[in-house]
Amino acid sequence: MLTFDDFAKKWKIDPAPLKPVARRYPFRLHSYFEGLIHTNDDAIWKQAVPDAHELSDLSGFEDPLSEEKLSPVPDLVHRYPNRVLWLVSDRCALHCRFCTRKRRWAESRSPKNPPDLKPALDYIAAREQIVDVLLSGGDPLLLPEERLCEILSKLREIKHVQIIRIGSRVPCALPGVISPRLAAMLSQFHPLFVNIHFNHPLEVTAESGRACSILANAGIPLGSQTVLLRGVNDSETVLAELFHKLLSIRVRPYYLMQMDLTAGTAHFRTPVSTGLRILRTLRNRISGPAMPHFVIDLPGGRGKMALLPNMIREINDKEMIVENYTGQSCVYPLLEGEQEALKAEMAAR
Ligand SMILES: *Cc1c(COP(=O)(O)O)cnc(C)c1O
C-alpha cells in the first residue's frame, strides 16, 4: 500500500494542493494497480488519484441511491423484492475516485471488530421472497477467508437463498489475492457468481487474467461491471477493446453503468447520449456475448433501468424503417394493423 506522500514523490507531483482532497476522501492504492499507470493523466491515474474537482463539485448527493433509507438493518439494502444487497466489507483494494459509496470510506472499522452478522441474516431468513443475495461493500474478497466462509455458510443454511453473487474489484485491482484455495472455498457455495469491476483495457493483464482463470476454473461464472467515465473509457474504441478482452479471459460483460449522481464525482459524468452512441456502434464491432446492458441506477433508489439506442427511424402502415449494425437503413414488414401498437410501444423512445 502506498501513502499519498510516497505516491506524489514517485510521480513528482506536489501533494499539497491535493492533501485536503485526500483528507476528505482518503487515497488508497496498491503498487500492483499503480504499476498500470503509464502517464500522470491516463485512464488508470484518473481512477485512483485525488482531483481538486472532488471538493469543488457542489452537485450530487452523499447517498444518491438512497441506500441508507432502503436499509431495514445496517448494511443490508433491500430495494427489489426478490434480492438484497449486503455490504459485508468496508475495505477496498483501491479507492476509485468516482465511488458511489465514498460516504462510507471514513467509517472503516478495525478488522478485529467486525459488525454483527445476525441482524442481516435474521432479516433474510425471515423473508422467503429473498432468493438472491449480492455481497458487496467494500470488497468481500478482501475479508479474512474465514469470515467470508462464515457469511457464505450461514447464507447457505437459509433454504430460500438460491443465488449468491459477489461484487468485487480484487481480481482487477489486486489480483494476487485470488488463490486456488480461495476459489475452492467459494466453489463450496454454488450457484455463486462473481461480478468484477473493470473499466479499462489496461486493467486486463496477465495477472488479472490469471485471477479470473482461477475463479472460472472453480466453476464460478464471471461477469463485469464497468462504469462509463469521462476521460477514462468514454469511447467506442476503448470499450470495444475492453469488452473483447474481458470475454477472452472468460468474463462476460454484464453492465455498463452511467455514473451515479454522487457528490464529488461530477467531473467523471458523461451525457446519457454518449452511452447510447457507444452501444449502437459496439454492435458492429464486438461479439454478442461481449455486449453489456447500459444501465442507469435511478436517483433515490428507484432501481436500475436499461437503455437501448432507438434503431427505428420510421413506422408506416406497412413497414418500419430501421437502422442495422452498419448504420444502413433497412425495411422490416409489419403485420396488418400493427402500426398503432408499435408506435405506442415506442412512444417515448
Ligand atoms: C444493483 C442492485 C441489485 C442487483 O441488481 P441486478 O440488476 O439484479 O444485478 C440489487 N439490489 C440493489 C440495492 C442494487 O443496487
- Say if residue 339's pLDDT is above 60: yes
- Cα gap 98→30, rounded to integer Å: 17
Residue of minimum CA distance from atom 6 in ligand 1: 304
The pLDDT tens digits of the residues spanning 115-150 come to 999 999 999 999 999 999 999 989 999 999 999 999
- Say if residue 349's pLDDT is above 60: no
Which amino acid, 307? L
Residue of minimum CA distance from atom 5 in ligand 1: 304
Which amino acid, 247? L
The pLDDT tens digits of the residues spanning 246-293 come to 999 999 999 999 999 999 999 999 999 999 999 999 988 999 999 999
Residue positions annotated with a catalytic role:
79-80, 83, 92, 96, 99, 101, 260, 297, 304
| Ligand 1 atom closest to the CA of 85, numbered from 1 | 11
Residue list, ligand 1 pocket, CB within 6 Å = 77, 79-80, 83, 85, 134, 304
User: Mean pLDDT of all residues in the chain?
Assistant: 95
Report strand pairing: 312-315 vs 163-168: unpaired
- Cα gap 207→194, rounded to integer Å: 17
Cell of 315: 413506422
- Cα gap 52→19, rounded to integer Å: 9
- Say if residue 235's pLDDT is above 70: yes
- pLDDT for res 346: 83
Gap from CA of 327 to ligand 1 centroid (Å): 33
Residue 180 has φ and ψ, to the nearest 5°, of -55, -35
Judge whether 141 and 186 are in contact, CB under 8 Å: no
List CB contacts of 183: < 8 A, sequence separation 6 or more: 214, 215, 217, 218, 220
From the list 307, 242, 301, 311, the residue with the least C-alpha distance to 271 is 307
CA distances from 175 to 71, 191, 192, 215 (A): 31, 22, 19, 11
Residue of minimum CA distance from atom 1 in ligand 1: 304
Our measurement of the distance from residue 270's CA atom to the centroid of its chain's CA atoms, rounded to an integer in Å, reads 16
- Say if residue 109's pLDDT is above 70: no
From the list 124, 152, 38, 141, the residue with the least C-alpha distance to 89 is 141
- Tell me the domain boundaries of the chain: 59-270
Note the helical H segments in 18-105: 19-24, 31-34, 43-48, 53-56
Whole-number percent of the chain with pLDDT over 90 = 93
Q: pTM for the complete prediction?
A: 0.96
Segment 34-46 shows an average pLDDT of: 97
- Say if residue 108's pLDDT is above 70: no
Residue of minimum CA distance from atom 12 in ligand 1: 85
- pLDDT for res 283: 87
The CATH label, of 3.40.50.2020, 3.20.20.70, 3.10.620.30, 1.10.3720.10, for the domain at 59-270 is 3.20.20.70
Note the helical H segments in the chain: 4-10, 19-24, 31-34, 43-48, 53-56, 118-125, 145-156, 170-173, 180-186, 206-217, 236-248, 272-282, 339-345
H or E element that contains 197: strand 192-197
Cell of 11: 510521480
Cell of 257: 453503468
- pLDDT for res 92: 96
Judge whether 221 and 193 are in contact, CB under 8 Å: yes
Residue where the block lists cell 468516482: 98
| Ligand 1 atom closest to the CA of 70, numbered from 1 | 13
H or E element that contains 84: strand 83-87
In angstroms and rounded to an integer, the radius of gyration of the C-alpha atoms of the chain is: 22
Cα dihedral 346→279→326→309 (10° resolution): 10
User: Which of 134-144 are b and which e, b meaning 16 or more Cβ less than 10 Å from the residue's Cβ?
Assistant: bbbbbbbbbbe
List CB contacts of 52: < 8 A, sequence separation 6 or more: 17, 18, 21
- pLDDT for res 258: 98
The pLDDT tens digits of the residues spanning 74-94 come to 999 999 999 999 999 999 999
The pLDDT tens digits of the residues spanning 158-215 come to 999 999 999 999 999 999 999 999 999 999 999 999 999 999 999 999 999 999 999 9
